[in-house]
Amino acid sequence: MLEGAKRSLRSEQVPKLTSLSIYRKKKPRKIMNPDDTIKNGPFSWRVETLLGSGGFGDVYKVYDEKNKAKHYALKTESEDGKKSMLRLKVEVKVFMTITEGRKTNPNGFKHFVEFVDRGKSEDLGCKFVVMSLVGPSLDDVRKKYGVTLNDRSTPYIVAIQSLEAVRDLHSVGFLHRDIKPANFAVGFGPTEPTVFMLDFGIGRSYLDPKTKQHRAPRKSVKFLGTLRYASRACIKGIDQGRKDDVECWIYMVFDIFDPEEGIVWKKVAGRDKITRAKEKFFEGKSKEAYKLVPYNLKTIVSYVDSLRFQSAPDYPFMINYLFTMSNQAGFPINDMNKGAWVGSLKNKKTGTGERTDKLSGSNDSDT
C-alpha cells in the first residue's frame, strides 16, 4: 500500500516529500492492566482498574504499594496528541498553585482535589498526574444516578459550593473558562457532601506574570469552552475575565434549578442565535427561564451583567444572597452537608462511582 502511495505521488508529479510519515498509522495508545505499576520517585503506583478513557488519555484507580488502603486517581495524557489539544500541563500548573495556597490557608480550597504526584512514563509515552478520588459529576448525579438536584435546599447548596470554588480559583490568579455541571463532582467517601471543581485544562492565568496585575485584554481569542454554558464574550472571541466564569456559573445554576427550561437556548443551534438568546436573558426578556428558578435570582444576574473585563466579582455578596434566597424559599441551609446526593449514590450505583478530571479538551457543543 505504501509503495502504491509512492507511485501515485510520482505519477502526478507531486513535489518530493522528505518523509512519508503522514501515511503511517498513529500508534495505538497503550492501556495499563490491573496490577501494572508506574514507579515515580518515592511512589509505586499500582493499577486496580480503569475508570475511564478520552481522546488523549485515561484515568485509573490506583494505590501506592506502601499504603494499599488508600486509593487515588492516576490520569494520563499521551504525548502523541496535537500540542494545542494537550491540557495536562495547564492542570498541573493550577494544581501546584492551589497546593501552594493551601500552605498559607490550610482550611481553604476545600473544593479542589488533593494533588499527589506527577511524572512521565517512557513505556506508555505519556505524562501523568495522581490526585484524590471524587465521585460522579453533577451531570452524572442527575442523569445516571437519577438524583434530583433541584429540590428544597439542594440547588442552593450546589450554587453556593460551586461559587466558592470559582472564588477560590480566582484568588490564586486563574480562570476556569469551562464552568458547567460536567466539570463539578461530588465527593467520595468522607468528602461526599462537598462539591469539587474539575478540569482546568483550558484554564488561564488572568495575571501578568511580571507585574502580577490584571492582564490587558487580547484583541482576538479563539473559542474554547462549551457553547451552551460559554459566556457571551467567549462566543464573540473577546478575551475573558473573572466575570465570564461567573456568567458561566449563572447558566449552570439555572440548569441545576430547572434542567428542562432553565437554559432557554438548550435546543437552539448556531453561535449567533445562542448569543442573541443569552443577550435576551440578561436583558430580562427570558421570563420562561424563571418557571422553576426563583425570580429573585435576577438580582445576581443583573449584578454579573454590570461587571467588566477587569472587575473583581463580589463573591460574599452573591453567596450571602443565595443563603437569603434559600431562607426566603422556606429551605434554610443549616448544614451544607445535606445535599440530596449525600448517602443516596451507593443505592443507585451504575458504575465505579468515582471520577476525576474529565479526559479530553472541551469543544463547541454540549452533547
- Which pLDDT score is estimated for 159? 99
pLDDT category at 84 given cuts 50, 70, 90 is low
Domain boundaries for CATH 1.10.510.10 within the chain = 138-348
Q: How far is CA 111 from CA 134, 198, 354, in A?
A: 11, 9, 16
- CATH dotted code for 37-132: 3.30.200.20
Q: What are phi and psi of 129, to 5 degrees?
A: -130, 155
Tell me the CA distances in angstroms from 142 to 58, 138, 308, 333, 342, one per residue in order: 24, 6, 33, 21, 13
Specify the pLDDT at position 181: 98
C-alpha cell at 360: 479530553
Average pLDDT on 109-128 reads 94
Closest by Cα among 301, 312, 344 to 159: 301
Average pLDDT of the segment spanning 22-46: 83
Q: Is the dihedral of CA 54, 126, 76, 35 positive or negative?
A: positive
Q: What pLDDT score does 347 carry? A: 58
What pLDDT, on a 0 to 100 scale, did the predictor assign at position 23?
44
For residue 353, is pLDDT > 50?
no
**For domain 138-348, which CATH number applies: 1.10.10.10, 1.20.1250.20, 1.10.510.10, 3.40.50.10860?**
1.10.510.10
- Which residues are documented as binding site? 75
276-305: per-residue pLDDT in tens? 999 999 999 999 999 999 999 999 999 999
DSSP-assigned letter for residue 71: E
User: Which one is catalytic: 58, 140, 168, 178?
Assistant: 178
Is the pLDDT reported for residue 7 higher than 60? no
Reported as a single tens digit per residue, the pLDDT across 161-198 is 999 999 999 999 999 999 999 999 999 889 999 999 99
pLDDT tens readout for residues 245-286? 999 999 999 999 999 999 999 999 999 999 999 999 999 999
- Quickly list H helices, 109-241: 138-143, 154-171, 232-235
Specify whether 178 is catalytic. yes
Give the pLDDT mean for 10-17.
41
**pTM here?**
0.86
Q: pLDDT, tens digit, for every residue of 128-138?
A: 999 999 999 99
Start-end ranges of CATH 3.30.200.20 in the chain? 37-132
Question: What local confidence, expressed as pLDDT, does residue 350 receive?
Answer: 41
Cα dihedral 186, 203, 110, 321 in deg (nearest 10): -80
pLDDT category at 365 given cuts 50, 70, 90 is very low
